[in-house]
Amino acid sequence: MSKNYETVIGLEVHVELATKTKIFCGCTTAFGGAPNTHTCPVCTGMPGSLPVLNKKVVEYAAAVGLATNCKITQKCKFDRKNYFYPDNPQNYQISQLYLPICRDGHVDITLADGSTKQVRIHEIHMEEDAGKLVHDEYDDVSYVDYNRSGVPLIEIVSEPDMRSAEEVIAYLEKLRQTIQYLGASDCKLQEGSMRADVNLSIREVGASEFGTRTEMKNLNSFTAITHAIEGETERQIDLLEAGKEVEQQTRRWDDNNGESYPMRSKEDAHDYRYFPDPDLVPLNISDEWLDEIRSNQPEFKEEKAIRYREEFGIPDYDIGLITDSKKLADIFEEATAECGEPKKVSNWILGETMRILKEKSLDPEDITFSPANLAKLIKLVDGGTINGSVAKEVFANIFDEDVDPEAYVEEHGLKQVNDEGALKACVEKVIADNPQSVLDYKGGKVQAIGYLVGQTMKAMKGKANPGMVNQLLKEMLDK
C-alpha cells in the first residue's frame, strides 16, 4: 500500500420495537405463528383499509431519542416511501423523511484502550417493517408472509463518525444496551430485531472530502459486521490502488463466503417519491407528554453502577459486568431483595449463569428463570440444606425450566446428609476399602485425603455435607 487510508463508517440501525401490536393496526407482533395469521386488512394493504398510529411506538421512539441526547421533533409527520416489492403490501412504506421524530443526538462509546469517543446521531425515525419472502428451492417462485408487515421499527442513522470495526461494535453495543434498558426492544441481531446497514467509504488520511460510499446489508451478527467492514475496506482500497473508482451501490454481505455482492436491478430507480401520508394526521408531542416520557426513563448503566457501589458494596468488576445488561441487573436486584446476599447473587450471575449462557450461545435477554428461585437456591445453600455441587445441579434446572429449588430438592431427594452416624458409617467403609490412600496419607501425603473425600461423596451420591466428611475423615485417620 503506497498511501495511508482511513475508513469512514456511518451506520443505519433498524430496531424492532417491543410493542404488543403493529405500528398501524391491532395485529400482534409476536414472533412465530403460521404464515399470514398475524395479519389484517391494514397490514396487508387491502383496498379501503386505513392506518391508525400506535401511541406506544411514539413513546418508545421518543424515549430512545432522549436517551441518545437527541432533539425531539415535537411536530412531526409520517411520509410514504414508494417502491414496488412484494414484501411491502401497499408498495409504499410508511416512514418519516421530512420531519423525523428525533434529530441531532450522540452517544459516547468506550474503546478497548479505555479511550472514549462521541458518535453523533443524525436522526431517528419511525417506520413499518416489511413482510417475509421465502424463495422456493426448485421453482422460480417466492412465497410471501405478511406476519412481520407493519411491525414497528425505528431507524437510527448515525453521522459518518466511526473509523474502525471496533468503534462500530462499541457503538452498536452502546445502542443495544441503552435500548434494552428502556425496554424498547430486545435488540437481537440473529433474530433481526436489531439490524445494521454499514455505510463505508475510504479516503486518504488527512483528506477533508469523503470518498464514494457503499451500503452493506445482511449483517446479522457482530462477527459478520466486523468481517464485512474488513472485507469492504480491503475491496475499496484495492479499487483505489488500481486506479479505479468506487461505485456508489448497495451490497449484500455473504458471511459464509466472506464476500459482498452488489444488489442491483435496473428496475430499482431509488426515487422513492416521498410525500406526507394523507391517511395520517400530524403528531404534536406536547411538552407535558415529553415530560412524562422523560420521567419514565429508567436508571441507566452509569447511575446504576454508582448506586450498586453504595447500596450493595460488591466489587466494581462485578458491577461492571452486571450492569452491562439490563436483564442481569434486574435479576441481580430482585434476587438480592429476596435473599439479602448481594455478593452471592453476583457470584451466581457471573459464574454459573454466564457459563451456561456461553455454553448455549445465548444472550442475557434469553434468560427466563425468575430471580426469586435463584434467591431460594442461595438460601438453601446458606441453610445447609444442600451442598455446593448439588446447588449447581439444581441451578441448571432453574436456568432451563425455572423450577422451584425447594420443591426440586425435595422431589429428587437432594438434601444434604448431615446425620453424623450415617456419615461415619460411610467414612469407615471408604477407609476400609482404600488402604493404599490411607497409607499415603499417613505417610505424609496430605492431599490423599481429597481422594477419600471424593469417594465418600460418591458413595453418598453427592449429598454429604462436605465439611463434615472432611472433619470425620481427619478425625479417624489421625486417630
Segment 261-290, which members bind other proteins (CB under 8 A)?
A: 263-267, 269, 271, 273-276, 278-284
**C-beta contacts of 406-409 below 8 A and 24+ residues apart:** 406/376, 406/380, 409/380, 409/385
Q: Counting contacts by CB under 8 A, is residue 193 touching other proteins?
A: no
In the region spanning residues 94 to 133, those forming contacts with other proteins, defined by CB under 8 A, are 133
What cell was used for 238?
484495492
51 lies in the binding site for other proteins (CB under 8 A): yes
Can you tell me which residue has the cell 394523507?
A: 278
Beta bridge pairs of residue 93: 81
Minimum distance between the CB of residue 149 and other proteins, rounded to whole angstroms?
10
Tell the smallest beta-carbon distance from residue 122 to other proteins (Å). Answer: 20
Q: Smallest distance from the beta carbon of 129 to other proteins, in angstroms? A: 16
CB contact set of 86 (below 8 Å; sequence gap of 6+): 131, 133, 142, 144
Segment near other proteins (CB under 8 A); pick from 8-16, 52-60, 153-161, 327-335:
52-60
> Smallest Cα–Cα separation from 193: which of 370, 353, 363, 401?
363
Output the CA–CA distances (angstroms, integers) from residue 61 to 165, 184, 187, 214, in the order listed: 26, 8, 14, 27
How many residues belong to the site for other proteins (CB under 8 A)? 71
Q: Select from 3, 55, 294, 309 the one that contacts other proteins (CB under 8 A).
A: 55
Beta carbon nearer to other proteins, 47 or 435: 47
Mark 146-185 with x for binding to other proteins (rule: CB under 8 A) and - for no binding: x---------------------------------------
Nearer to other proteins, 5 or 272 (CB): 272
31-50 residues near other proteins, rule: CB under 8 A: 34-41, 44-50
Residue closer to other proteins, measured from CB, 250 or 470: 250
Q: Return the number of the residue (266 or 358) whose C-beta is nearest other proteins.
A: 266
Give all strands of the β-sheet with 102-110 in edge-to-edge order. 71-72, 102-110, 116-128, 152-158, 5-16, 194-204, 214-217, 250-254, 259-262
CB 338 within 8 A of CB 371: yes
- Nearest residue (CB) to other proteins, 133 versus 439: 133
Other C-beta atoms within 10 Å of 422: how many? 12
* Contacts (CB under 8 A) with other proteins, residues 428-457: none
H or E stretch covering 287: helix 287-295
Nearer to other proteins, 263 or 476 (CB): 263
Q: Which of 14, 31, 56, 363 binds other proteins (CB under 8 A)?
A: 56
Print the binding letters for residues 226-265 with other proteins: x by CB under 8 A, - otherwise: -------------------------------------xxx
- The H or E element containing residue 262 is strand 259-262
Residue 114 Cα to chain centre, angstroms: 22
Cα distances from 126 to residues 30, 92, 314, in angstroms, run 19, 14, 40
* Residues 71 to 90 in contact with other proteins, rule: CB under 8 A: 77, 80, 82, 84-87, 89-90
Is residue 140 a contact point for other proteins (CB under 8 A)?
yes
CA distance 473 to 464: 13
Min dist CB 45 to other proteins, Å, is: 4
Contacts of 235 (CB under 8 A, 6+ apart): 260
In the region spanning residues 1 to 20, those forming contacts with other proteins, defined by CB under 8 A, are 19-20
Minimum CB distance to other proteins smaller for 38 or for 176: 38
Q: At what angle do helices 466-478 and 435-442 cross, to 10 degrees?
A: 70
Q: Which C-beta is closer to other proteins: that of 282 or that of 450?
A: 282
Cβ distance to other proteins smaller for residue 252 or 327: 252
Stretch that binds other proteins, among 105-113, 138-146, 315-323, 441-449 (CB under 8 A): 138-146
Q: How far is the CB of 30 from other proteins (least distance, A)?
A: 9
- Please pick, from the candidates 1, 113, 135, 432, the single residue that binds other proteins as defined by CB under 8 A: 135
Tell me the C-alpha distance between 192 and 241, whole Å: 36
